[in-house]
Amino acid sequence: MDCESCHYFRDDGSYAGFPTNEVCAECHAVDPEEAMEAIAEEGIDPSDYDAIMKAGIGAIEDNLASGDDDKLAAEREYVVKYLIQGKEVPWLNYQYQPDNVYFSHAAHKDMTVEDMAELKKELSDVVDPSVFEAEEFPEQNCNLCHLKDVHLNDVPPAFERNILSGYSKMTMKMWKCERCHALKGQPNACYTCHK
C-alpha cells in the first residue's frame, strides 16, 4: 500500500498527520449508519463489542476486505470498536514535540535520504547509519527522523514515556535537529524552531 494513502500533505503544504477514520473508510467501506441500524434490529447494545463481533452482522461482514482469518478478526475489531462508533483510534505518537517547538513536515519534504547519505558519518548520532545502506535509497525520507522502517512492524514498538514530560522518549532532541541543520547550512536561530 502507498504511504500516501494514509500519510499525505494537504493542499496548503501542511501535513495531515495520523490517518483518521475518514481515510480508512475510503477502503473499509462499512456504512456506520447501516451497521448501527442492523445492530439495533438484532437487539444488541452498540457498546457490547464482543456481542457485535459474534453476531455476524451482514452490514459489517459483507464489507470486510481481508483475505485470511487473523486479518479478518483484526479488521472486524477495528470496524466494530472504532469505525462504526465514530471513534478515532488513539494512535501513539513516538515523536511528539513539546508545544513550544515548531516542526513542519512540509519544510522537510524535499530532503531525501540520498542527499543525506554523504553526511552519513557526521550524522551517525542523529540518523541510524544503516538507513543509508539499503540497496536502493527509499523514496520516503521518514527513516531520517522516525524509527527505521516502522511501517514494516506488525507489533507496535515499545512506547516509553518520559516520566516528567509525559512525552515519548523517542522524541527528537534539540541537538539532533540542530546538528543536521548546521551540516545542511539551515538556520539555527532559536525562533526557527520555537514560536
Closest by CA to 28, choosing from 55, 5, 52, is: 5
Q: Which three cell numbers stand for residue 160?
A: 516509553
Closest by CA to 29, choosing from 87, 105, 83, 82, is: 83
Closest residue to ligand HEC, judged by C-beta, is 17
Contact 76, 53 (CB under 8 A): yes
| Residue span 126-165 as binding mask against ligand HEC, x where in contact by CB under 6 A, dash where not | x-------------xxx-xxx---xx----x---------
Q: Is 188 in the site for ligand HEC (CB under 6 A)?
A: yes
> CA neighbours within 13 Å on the CB side: how many for 38?
19
Smallest distance, ligand HEC to C-beta of residue 152, A = 8
Tell me the residue type at 37. Answer: E
Residues 6 or more apart whose CB falls under 8 angstroms from that of 45 comprise: 51
Q: Is 95 in the site for ligand HEC (CB under 6 A)?
A: yes
For residue 15, the cross-strand partners are: 9
Of the candidate residues 92, 130, 134, 162, the single one contacting ligand HEC (CB under 6 A): 92
Applying CB under 6 A, which residues contact ligand HEC? 1, 3, 5-7, 17-19, 23-24, 26-28, 65-67, 71, 74-75, 78, 89, 91-98, 101-105, 107-108, 110-111, 116, 126, 140-142, 144-146, 150-151, 156, 172-174, 176-178, 180-181, 184, 186-188, 190, 192-194
